[in-house]
């Protein structure tokens, strides 16, 4: 199956968070780019991150906060509400007043996938997509002792012996991408092993307990010396791991990507959404943001407000089809 389109955050020191925030000094030039606005938020703006502090999504969100505050002339606060595959934070924003002061930093697991597998307090189709913050491809990681150094060697091995494929949880994007990979590569049988998050899955892989797993590039670069990197699912090679070939280069034309973006509650007025989207585009278009995104394994956004809305709708449909064909169900 060919599907086209967040790292499991890990604890980091307070110093790293402060460094990420300090890097946002590069956003000081956003004010001159701001045109006279028809709308300004009536109070502080909260950016709800559905992951714990310290992950790539959290770092990028904290980078845009100072620039948004300057553009909107209002305080911007980053608030972490992790848990339940992102559904806790998503539900909080869904129920918030549609006045532009509570925004969701969303990703596919909580918006395009989880609602198709479990009952949620929100309808992902009713969120108002504002702007993307970036995209990151998936990367196929292998245990240190696996007798395969590239994709074709892995596929040949999988046809001789049953692969064990770790994932961060049943029904997550990593799990679904691994199923799509098996289908595309003609791997008839494999054992998928779910975990309670990315950290234990990676630990098991590093300990040679499982053969392979899919992660996003943005959450994997720090493990380069401990795991084999067999391929990325992007159209082109990724700047954060430039020596890792794409799947297409290795004879398997499979493309997949994960994204993060900003969404507003249902019924947010179009004028408010347009102004917020403009502010986010200005801030995420700075050299400082693009450099940090690339360092973390993300590709900086290029889509317009309207294009992101269309992309979001397509992403929901895409994952719905993947779930249907894979017949994945939550236990």
Claim to verify: residue 41 and residue 190 sit in the same structural domain: no
Residue 170 lies in a domain: yes
Claim to verify: residue 58 and residue 28 sit in the same structural domain: yes
Q: State CA 319 to chain mean position distance.
A: 14
d(CA 252, CA 151): 8
Question: What is residue 247's DSSP assignment?
Answer: T
Claim to verify: residue 172 and residue 160 sit in the same structural domain: yes
Q: Which one of 233, 250, 267 terminates a domain?
A: 250
Residue 194 lies in a domain: yes
Q: State CA 322 to chain mean position distance.
A: 17
Is the CB of residue 34 less than 8 Å from the CB of residue 286? no
Claim to verify: residue 118 and residue 143 sit in the same structural domain: no
- The pLDDT score that the predictor gives to residue 295 is 86
**pLDDT bracket for residue 9 (50, 70, 90):** very low
Q: How many domains does the chain have?
A: 2
Question: What are the tens digits of pLDDT across the range 178-236?
Answer: 999 998 999 989 999 998 888 899 999 999 999 999 998 887 888 889 999 999 999 88
Taking residue 152's Cβ as centre, other Cβ atoms within 10 Å add up to 15
Claim to verify: residue 193 and residue 105 sit in the same structural domain: no
Claim to verify: residue 132 and residue 162 sit in the same structural domain: no
Claim to verify: residue 175 and residue 101 sit in the same structural domain: no
Total length of the chain = 331
**pTM to 2 decimal places:** 0.82
Q: What is the mean pLDDT of residues 75-91?
A: 94
Q: Which one of 223, 250, 277 terminates a domain?
A: 250
Claim to verify: residue 39 and residue 119 sit in the same structural domain: yes
Residue 108 lies in a domain: yes
d(CA 273, CA 281): 12
CATH at residue 316: 3.40.190.150
**pLDDT bracket for residue 31 (50, 70, 90):** low
Claim to verify: residue 51 and residue 122 sit in the same structural domain: yes
Instruction: Tell me which residue range forms the domain holding 67.
Output: 14-136+258-326
When comparing pLDDT for 213 and 21, which is higher?
213
Residue 8 lies in a domain: no
Residue 2 lies in a domain: no
Question: What are the tens digits of pLDDT across the range 275-323?
Answer: 999 999 999 999 999 999 988 889 888 899 999 999 999 999 999 988 8
Claim to verify: residue 132 and residue 142 sit in the same structural domain: no
- Select from 216, 226, 236 the least CA-distant residue to 142: 226
- The pLDDT score that the predictor gives to residue 30 is 56
Claim to verify: residue 150 and residue 168 sit in the same structural domain: yes
Residue 7 lies in a domain: no
CA distance to 33, 106, 127, 195, per residue, from 265 (Å): 26, 12, 5, 31
Claim to verify: residue 188 and residue 130 sit in the same structural domain: no
> Can you read off the two tokens belonging to residue 252?
């398997």
CATH at residue 208: 3.40.190.10
Question: What is residue 47's DSSP assignment?
Answer: E
Is the CB of residue 175 less than 8 Å from the CB of residue 167? yes
d(CA 294, CA 74): 28
Query: What is the DSSP code string of 194-216?
Result: E-SSHHHHHHHHHTTSSSEEEEE
Residue 61 lies in a domain: yes
When comparing pLDDT for 330 and 197, which is higher?
197
Q: In the Cβ-directed half-sphere of 300, how many Cα atoms lie within 13 Å?
A: 18
Residue 102 lies in a domain: yes
d(CA 28, CA 312): 30
Q: In the Cβ-directed half-sphere of 255, how many Cα atoms lie within 13 Å?
A: 11
Q: Which one of 250, 285, 307 terminates a domain?
A: 250
- The pLDDT score that the predictor gives to residue 210 is 96
């Amino acid at each position: 199956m060919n599907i086209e389109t967040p790292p499991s955050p890990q604890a980091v020191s307070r110093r790293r968070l402060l460094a990420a925030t300090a890097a946002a000094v590069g956003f000081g030039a956003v004010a001159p780019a701001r045109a006279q606005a028809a709308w300004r938020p009536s109070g502080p703006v909260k950016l709800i991150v559905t992951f714990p502090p310290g992950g790539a999504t959290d770092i990028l969100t904290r980078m845009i906060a100072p620039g948004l505050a300057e553009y909107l002339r209002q305080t911007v606060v980053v608030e972490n509400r992790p848990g339940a595959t992102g559904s806790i934070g998503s539900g909080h924003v869904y129920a918030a007043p549609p006045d532009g002061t509570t925004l969701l930093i969303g990703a596919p697991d909580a918006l395009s996938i989880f609602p198709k597998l479990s009952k949620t307090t929100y309808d992902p189709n009713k969120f108002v997509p504002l702007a993307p913050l970036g995209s990151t491809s998936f990367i196929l990681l292998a245990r240190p002792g696996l007798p395969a150094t590239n994709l074709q060697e892995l596929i040949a091995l999988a046809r001789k012996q049953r692969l064990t494929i770790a994932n961060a949880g049943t029904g997550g994007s990593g799990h679904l991408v691994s199923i799509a990979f098996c289908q595309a590569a003609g791997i008839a049988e494999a054992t998928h092993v779910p975990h309670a998050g990315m950290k234990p899955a990676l630990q098991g892989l590093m300990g040679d307990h499982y053969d392979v797993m899919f992660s996003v590039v943005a959450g994997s670069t720090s493990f380069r010396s401990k795991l084999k990197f067999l391929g990325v699912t992007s159209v082109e090679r990724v700047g954060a791991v430039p020596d890792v070939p794409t799947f297409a280069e290795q004879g398997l034309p499979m493309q997949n990507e994960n994204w993060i973006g900003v969404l507003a509650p249902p019924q947010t007025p179009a004028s408010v959404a347009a102004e917020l989207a403009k502010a986010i585009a200005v801030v995420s278009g700075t050299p400082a943001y693009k450099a940090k995104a690339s360092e973390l394994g993300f590709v900086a956004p290029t889509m317009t407000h309207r294009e992101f809305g269309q992309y979001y709708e397509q992403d929901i449909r895409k994952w719905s089809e993947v779930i249907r064909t894979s017949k994945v169900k939550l236990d």
